[in-house]
Structure 1
């Protein structure tokens, strides 16, 4: 059974998402230690989302509640959050609905900015991380690979995201009213990771030419050389921060890299180098950017965890634009493109579920085919023993076996898609005395757990929905 525990900008605060995201890389192995039925886990963590995709090996009719509670408890222990708080926050998706949810996420339909392009790569890297940690399973592999295929279809076949919309571009759109001339704007890019390349490309699209980069982890020089910009050394960081009109932070650091003190010290350094009177932190410097005596700076924080301390706004002329503010101003969906994208997602999710359900019948199909072909081979041998070795009898028997199997194979797919696999299996046993092939069943269960469950939507209470699923 596939289950997804989800917290996003739709049902969780940024403080919680920040804690979850910061510890995401340690979550999957801890989850699998929690309960015997938990066979696999893939964690997707982005700036607006934390999701754990779980593969449970539970007997038919068994309750998933205990395993879900253990998974939530494991996530809480890694992130330093109370399990009860997570239970009342996490959404819960299970069974066939998991594919639809992940395909929608990977296609950008659940993002703050609908259609944003970064999420597809983040979903792909989540699977790669699970492979490195040894926490994936064949069914999770199939799920995530299909999600990547669907996201590519959505990108190629619809107009959604066609304008390169993303959090970066939305943030710069919101900054437009503060910028009189992008070509004259001095920008300091802090970070070389998550959104750095996209930020630089978006700035250049607007005509920005004066961009410098600083990396808290020391990778600034390499990034600068690769992108044709200037790197800022550690000792120059404060002055560069104070001198910039716009600071864009996009690091994966787990602490604030820009705060009130940094910019205030930078202003003092600028004032001293200009030969003016040194000012106290928090007092406007005549040498600062913007109008004389009143520096104006916009700090755009794209980091999760937050890269910028909230106290920067205590400095005169400094305005902070963070992810929470960006979310508030996210544009409405473009209905036509979004509807087309959702149609693709729904189609692919149904196909994923159909294939899984058909594979549930695989052992019984193997048993029927073996039964028919064993009878056919026996008749062929009997014919040969009577001297019929010209091949015509064998050809006729093989053709008849194929004709006889055609209708049962078609009906097996129809009944599987209707959720009535048991009827086909019971009929097989009643008519022919054939039971599902035990060897094929054992191989299938050991390699690829099946998807089961109903098309339940996301709930705001994971434990409650798990209990509802069990009750039904």
Structure 2
């Protein structure tokens, strides 16, 4: 059995390319079904699969008897509408121990834009549940992910990997504080109501802004989140008309197209008499049209723009990183040992089946002898001798066949198997 991974992240691919391969959580199940169907039509009918998709990465993990990286690359390229060569130039492909090491590092927060951040672990668990729901997660990938979660837990409890981390939300607050002298005088709008917006709203609310509003496609969900911060909820359709009211706009939705366009922002700036607007687009694909960044009175930051801020203090975490890598190395070795043993499972099953067949035959023979009146001791002696002969017959025949070199090798193997001294 082999495992392989195909992915692109914030270090290998620009934001707009990552946006082509971003899958919302409710898209994961049908996307997995499409991927597995593509394998079934070729030479790899039985493939386990899982997809992790966040604002910083999209990764496909697969397991099968034979690695099929080229097929995986072709399928993902087609789904994103790009040439396979372009995808390969921005992607990474890993297999077996390299794939295991990568997923362990991702779960532990070592491969994140925010070193040591914990949000990725929840996103990975969501991805695993989605794969389980459609029956795409077999024994091998389930073992890989469960071990990655265990390694991540050990890294976080045994090291200080997340002690100095700065979240994307905290970085946004820090940048907003550089533009506005007093955040308590600002009006903040959050577009979306997912986990990232929840986190961002929590950080901004701590600065006690003048007002908070949540714009969401589903008003009920927006109201639920806004009530926690004493804010108001509004429909997404009302956003263009009310955009001018807000000094700070933070957006993160699952929309496949921008929902805040250049024209809407231009009209908002005119109504604001060109008072500055601070905008943060945490979505992949983008929620805010990239042309907005060129406007004179707008300060627009994307997830990639925040990279420099969130990496501050990274030097303080290098000792923790070294400790984490040791834990991950041990986890990789353990998984590869388990994976290697999985290759012997069919043989073990065949041996057990053969032994059961011999046992059943000797039991049937023993019952017949007992029915004829044979003594119990004689029957037990005959049954034990019959089992022994059946077990040793193949080994003895192999020992007497072949040339001298093969007989010597067989003799060493049989000695190791049958003449072991119990410790």
User: CA-to-partner distance for each residue in 1:64-118, whole Å, 9 max, x for gaps?
Assistant: 4xx3222211112211111222233321111122211101011111111111221
1:47–1:304 CA contact under 8 A, matched in 2 = yes
- The alpha carbon displacement at 1:239 in A equals 4.5
Shift of 1:329: 4.0
Give deviations 1:213-245, integer Å, cap 9, x for gaps: 101344422332355421123464235421212
Counterparts of residues 23-34 of structure 1 (less than 5 Å): 25=28, 26-32=30-36, 33-34=38-39
Contact 1:260 1:314 in 2 (8 A): no
Distance 1:167 1:13 in 2: 18
Unpaired runs of at least 5, structure 2: 367-374, 385-408, 418-423
State the TM-score, normalized to the length of structure 2.
Answer: 0.77
Determine helix, strand or coil for the equivalent of 1:21: coil
Q: Deviations over 1:22-53 (max 9, x none)?
A: 48635432322133325121111111111110
* C-alpha distance in structure 1 between counterparts of 2:416 and 2:321, whole Å: 51
Measured in 1, the distance between the counterparts of 2:218 and 2:20 equals 21
Q: Show the counterpart of 2:235.
A: 233
Matches of 1:388 and 1:260, distance apart in 2: 93
Among candidates 300, 314, 319, match of residue 320 of structure 1: 300
- Aligned twin of 2:394: none
Cα distance in 2 for partners of 1:163, 1:186 equals 29
Match of 2:285 in 1: 305
In structure 1, what is the equivalent of residue 332 of structure 2?
349
CA contact (8 A) 1:194 1:252 kept: no
Q: How many residues align?
A: 369
5 Å matches for 1:83-98?
A: 83-98=84-99
Structure 1 unaligned residues grouped into runs of 5+ = 59-63, 268-282, 390-396, 398-425, 435-472
Distance 2:327 2:80 in 1: 35
For residue 307 of structure 1, give the secondary structure of its aligned residue in structure 2.
coil
Higher relative contact order (CA 8 A, sep 6+): 1
Check the 8 A contact 2:191/2:216 in 1, yes or no.
yes
Q: Is the 8 A contact 2:101 2:329 kept in 1?
A: yes
Q: Deviations over 1:119-145 (max 9, x none)?
A: 111111111121233322211111112
Does residue 259 (structure 1) correspond to residue 266 (structure 2)? The answer is no
RMSD over aligned Cα, in angstroms?
Answer: 3.4
- Quick check: 1:6–1:49 contact (8 Å CA) kept in 2? yes
What residue number does 1:52 align with? 60
The 5-angstrom pairing of residues 372-387 of structure 1 reads: 385-386=376-377
Q: Is the 8 A contact 1:216 1:257 kept in 2?
A: no
- CA 1:234–1:386 in 2, change beyond 3 Å: closer, same or farther? closer
- 2:70 aligned counterpart, secondary structure: helix
Native 8 Å contact 1:3 1:54 kept in 2:
yes
Aligned partners of 2:412, 2:125: CA distance in 1, in Å?
A: 43
Residues 227-284 of structure 1: CA deviation (Å, up to 9, x unaligned): 54211234642354212121110111111122232233345xxxxxxxxxxxxxxx4x
CA distance in 2, matches of 1:346, 1:433: 31
